[in-house]
Structure 1
């Protein structure tokens, strides 16, 4: 009876050994199929090196050792010099925390340094204290990070260079405007004084013409500085509640002599009542004057020009329409772009600064400016801006 029981126990023991061996092979297979390198270290104390007791296939490939070569090595054999110096500190932190993820550098069989991210944990197996480390090669990630860092540094240098060039450009433009304005100021004052005191013709007409020309030149110089500011985002608005009736009355008084000299007729139509608009008085005036000045230049002697103002979907909408030469689709496409202007024979010369500046100003008001035109049928410029700017 006892012999039979021993036989049964022996059979059971063999079955257990077979099952255990089978499970061990299964887990070894899974262990070796892992993409990341995995090492198992035996730990004794924080001052002694930790010894490799197990390694998967990925770990052997990572370090360049055969399995038999890797087993028995310590962390000092596989860590870079810098990491090896930190070894006791790294192990002490792990013992204190039980688990840690950090970036270090390994050294392979050829002595090459490999940046890695290790995820290691303190575990207990059969009464022994062990450390399991899952190792991921981050060479590509580090390379990408370095390239990104270098790209950001280049971008920073380019931005600083651009900002310096912009600053120099603004400084130059201001200096240029100052140099032009200095003699112009005295010319403007003198011509204004003479035009008021001269009584005899044709000298009075000549002086008025000279005064108007100097005023126009003064305006163009101001536009030059505004354009320079606008190109680099330094053009600012000073918005306040304004009365459109007063604005258009002011504009009519300024432009009336121009239209009279060309025998042109300006018709102004304003919606009544018209609410108060919050906008930059000076800049809005600048836009409308530019549009009317363009209309006067491109409309023949005796032509008709209209200015209409009203409300459309909570926007102030202003239209300047003429019966001048009109424009082709190609010419319309070039409008509102700096230094672009029609060079057709018989058209006024210029750089197109006025329309480009007008678009900048309307954009700053969060509005829109458009044009409709056909050759021989005149042009209609329309801009719309919110009655009140959006809260920021």
Structure 2
């Protein structure tokens, strides 16, 4: 009988804790009462910790929003003045070292674009890590997403005479957030184009499994050494072989984090000199 009363009292304590209504009963010298007191202190500390975490999240959200907003106007102004200066240089006649000045402007434009990309990537990364934005998967067909990702990559691919070949025309569905998964798949495809030689082909295919839908992006690039594969998804990591290429080393990190939030994951198969194949696994859902 005593054991039943003890279990019932513990059960009521846990129920009250879960609903946030826990209150200490009259104190006595029993072990259960001392446990009740400790339980109250634990819940109070947990509540304070949760409140502090909420405040910290709001502070990060505000900081990220401020950085994004405050850098937008300066970057726009830099682009404007670069454009005006370029027009001025092109209309000048008899100017010495004109070509050199135009070359400097071109480099300034390139660095401005790189800075903009870095700011955007850091903003996305901060929002994901602090759960400021939520990834909301919903069941939908994969083909529209692949079509949009390819459309956005075509211009860069054409500059290098790279063919993006999508072999999939089916109607398979998976559970994913369209906007964020487009970012994840787009990052992988952008890398495939970036690190592939001119005139090569990037092949996209889809394989259905019982629980997952796998999107394969396979290139004919330089490949990845086995010891590098675990590192490429780290923040700001760039292998020695590709540091001459544009990039900041955030894309694959974002891809992995986005997929994790959708109950998905990414795998890589590669050998140096034989290209790389990234397999993006999206959960099919119910």
Per the normalisation by structure 1, the TM-score is: 0.51
The alignment partner of 2:171 has SS state of coil
Quote the residue 1:307 is aligned against: 204
Q: Does 1:256 align with 2:147?
A: no
Q: Distance in 2 between matches of 1:298 and 1:262?
A: 11
Q: What are the equivalent positions in structure 2 for 1:343-362 lying under 5 Å apart?
A: 343-344=239-240, 346-347=242-243, 348=245, 352-362=249-259
Gap runs ≥5 in structure 1: 1-101, 106-114, 116-137
Deviation at 1:209, TM superposition (A): 8.8
**CA distance in 2: counterparts of 1:320 and 1:191, whole angstroms:** 37
Equivalent residues of 2:206, 2:216 under 8 A apart: yes
- Structure 2: tracts of 5 or more residues without a match: 1-24, 92-98
1:267 and 1:155 map into 2 onto residues whose CA distance is 52
1:269–1:309 Cα contact (<8 Å) kept: no
Q: In structure 2, how many angstroms separate the alpha carbons of the residues matched to 1:283 and 1:363?
A: 11
Matching residue of 1:82: none
Higher helix share: 2
Counterpart residue number, 2:55 = 164
Aligned residues: 250
- Partners of 2:107 and 2:206 lie apart in 1 by 31
CA shift at 1:185, angstroms? 4.2
Residue 153 of structure 1: how far off its partner (Å): 2.9
Deviations 1:49-100 (CA, angstroms, capped at 9, x unpaired): xxxxxxxxxxxxxxxxxxxxxxxxxxxxxxxxxxxxxxxxxxxxxxxxxxxx
Equivalent residues in 2 for 1:218-229, closer than 5 Å: 218-229=116-127
Question: Quick one: which of 234, 238, 255 aligns to 1:342?
Answer: 238
Corresponding residue for residue 155 of structure 1: 46
Do residues 177 (structure 1) and 73 (structure 2) align?
Answer: no
**In the superposition, relative to structure 1, how do residues 169 and 305 fare at CA in structure 2: closer, same or farther (>3 Å)?**
same
Q: Tell me, yes or no, if the aligned pair for 1:341 and 1:349 is still in contact at 8 Å.
A: no
After TM superposition, give the deviation of residue 232 of structure 1 in Å. Answer: 2.0
Paired position in structure 2 for 1:372: 269
Q: Which has more strand, going by share of residues?
A: 1
The residue aligned with 1:384 is 281
Give the Cα separation in 2 of the matches to 1:380 and 1:233: 30
Which one of the candidate residues 283, 293, 312 is aligned to 2:180?
Answer: 283
Whether contact under 8 Å (1:332, 1:371) holds in the other structure is yes
Query: Which has more radius of gyration?
Result: 1
Measured after TM superposition, the shift of residue 358 of structure 1 is: 1.3
Q: Which has the higher contact order (CA 8 A, sep 6+)?
A: 2
Q: Distance in 2 between matches of 1:386 and 1:193?
A: 50
2:142, 2:174 within 8 Å by CA — same for their partners in 1? yes
Q: 2:248 and 2:76 mapped to 1: Cα distance?
A: 24
Distance 1:266 1:220 in 2: 27
Instruction: State the distance in 1 between where 2:167 and 2:110 align.
Output: 28
Which residue number in structure 1 is paired with residue 168 of structure 2?
271
Moved more, 273-282 or 182-191: 182-191
1: CA distance between counterparts of 2:60 and 2:144? 37
RMSD (CA atoms): 4.1
Partner of 2:192: 295
| Residue in 2 that maps onto 1:233 | 131
Aligned-partner SS, 2:240? coil
Q: Secondary structure at the match of 1:273?
A: coil
Distance 2:82 2:282 in 1: 37
